[in-house]
């Protein structure tokens, strides 16, 4: 080489040291491969799962053992998530694994009617608003009959089943679709259920409740399915 050192190509040297793009996916399952998972978009799926669970950003951070600012920045797209951070979030959100926070992160899964019933049964009766209205929004976007075709588990709480069936019938009427067969088999509640709960609203609910709800002894206000 005549005593002359070859010119170093710093760009090439750096590119050889950088992990390949595929390793970013592997990082979810092997922390030793690479310690960060990079995002160019907001973690919309994280926000969707958090809201579905009825958690504030601060409460999710507490359950995951993270700083509140970390969750805030992740949802805003201003932070790169360590694989260990994703694992903590997935556990706090009761997800099967951290990969759930990556799959289709820009378009979270839209729950079907059956999944809505199952979600309420799993997360408790107090979660019905989160599950039901996420389903309502998704159905109005897609108008997909397949999302209401599968019959929910008939062994769940009667209120959950009656409310879901009434909602499905109302949405199908709104979209000029025939209601699924299983709705006809959902019987009225033994006792009237005033969903709003406030004594002062019972008279209004009695007068305004749509037929699909009233027929199952469920009473809601006329704007129950209205979304801002």
Q: Give the rounded percent of residues in the chain with a pLDDT score beyond 90.
A: 43
The verdict on residue 6 lying in a domain is: no
Q: What is the pLDDT of residue 65?
A: 94
Cα 46 to Cα 15: distance, rounded to the nearest angstrom = 31
Q: What is the pLDDT of residue 114?
A: 94
Regarding whether 92 and 27 lie in a shared domain, the answer is yes
Regarding whether 56 and 29 lie in a shared domain, the answer is yes
The verdict on residue 174 lying in a domain is: yes
Residue 147: alpha-carbon gap to chain centroid: 15
The encoded tokens of residue 220 equal 């809601």
Q: pLDDT-based confidence at 22, cuts 50/70/90?
A: very low
Range 14-25 average pLDDT: 37
Residue-averaged pLDDT of the chain: 79
Give CB contacts under 8 A, 24+ apart, made by 126-133.
126/54, 127/53, 127/54, 128/160, 128/163, 130/51, 130/52, 130/53, 130/54, 131/52, 132/163, 132/164, 132/167, 133/227
Which of left, alpha, beta for 101 (phi over 0: left; psi -120 to 50: alpha)? alpha
Regarding whether 60 and 126 lie in a shared domain, the answer is no
Closest residue by Cα to residue 55 from 42, 40, 71, 70: 71
Q: What is the pLDDT of residue 57?
A: 87
The verdict on residue 25 lying in a domain is: yes
| More confident of the two residues 36 and 150 | 150
Q: What is the pLDDT of residue 227?
A: 63
Regarding whether 151 and 60 lie in a shared domain, the answer is no
Regarding whether 71 and 135 lie in a shared domain, the answer is no
Regarding whether 94 and 26 lie in a shared domain, the answer is yes
Closest residue by Cα to residue 140 from 45, 48, 227: 227
Q: In the chain, how many domains are there?
A: 2
| More confident of the two residues 221 and 94 | 221
Range 210-222 average pLDDT: 96
Regarding whether 169 and 71 lie in a shared domain, the answer is no
Range of the domain at 28: 12-101
Q: What is the pLDDT of residue 5?
A: 46
Regarding whether 137 and 95 lie in a shared domain, the answer is no
The verdict on residue 106 lying in a domain is: no
The verdict on residue 71 lying in a domain is: yes
Range 38-47 average pLDDT: 61
The verdict on residue 5 lying in a domain is: no
Regarding whether 159 and 74 lie in a shared domain, the answer is no
Q: Dihedrals φ, ψ of 7, to 5°?
A: -70, 130
Range 84-101 average pLDDT: 85
| Single residue among 60, 76, 101 that ends a domain in this structure | 101
| More confident of the two residues 129 and 194 | 194
Assign residue 22 the CATH number of its domain: 1.10.260.40
Regarding whether 125 and 79 lie in a shared domain, the answer is no
Say if residue 123 is exposed, middle or buried (CB neighbours under 10 Å; 0-12, 13-18, 19+). Answer: middle
pTM to 2 decimals?
A: 0.59
Regarding whether 131 and 43 lie in a shared domain, the answer is no
The verdict on residue 4 lying in a domain is: no
Length of the chain: 228
The verdict on residue 1 lying in a domain is: no
Regarding whether 73 and 136 lie in a shared domain, the answer is no
Q: pLDDT-based confidence at 137, cuts 50/70/90?
A: confident
């Amino acid at each position: 080489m005549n005593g002359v050192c070859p010119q170093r190509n710093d760009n090439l040297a750096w590119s050889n040291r950088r992990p390949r793009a595929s390793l970013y996916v592997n990082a979810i399952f092997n922390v030793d491969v690479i310690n960060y998972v990079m995002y160019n978009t907001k973690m919309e799926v994280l926000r969707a799962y958090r809201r579905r669970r009825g958690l504030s950003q601060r409460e999710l951070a507490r359950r995951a053992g993270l700083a509140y600012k970390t969750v805030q920045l992740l949802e805003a797209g201003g932070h790169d998530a360590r694989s260990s951070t994703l694992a903590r979030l997935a556990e706090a959100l009761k997800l099967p694994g951290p990969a759930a926070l990556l799959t289709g992160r820009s378009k979270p899964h839209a729950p079907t009617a059956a999944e809505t019933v199952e979600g309420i049964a799993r997360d408790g009766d107090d979660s019905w608003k989160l599950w039901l209205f996420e389903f309502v929004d998704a159905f109005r976007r897609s108008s997909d009959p397949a999302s209401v075709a599968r019959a929910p588990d008939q062994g769940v709480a009667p209120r959950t089943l009656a409310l879901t069936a009434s909602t499905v019938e109302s949405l199908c009427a709104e979209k000029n679709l025939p209601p699924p067969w299983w709705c006809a088999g959902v019987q009225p509640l033994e006792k009237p259920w005033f969903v709003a709960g406030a004594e002062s609203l019972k008279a209004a609910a009695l007068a305004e409740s749509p037929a699909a709800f009233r027929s199952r002894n469920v009473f809601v206000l006329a704007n129950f399915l209205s979304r801002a």
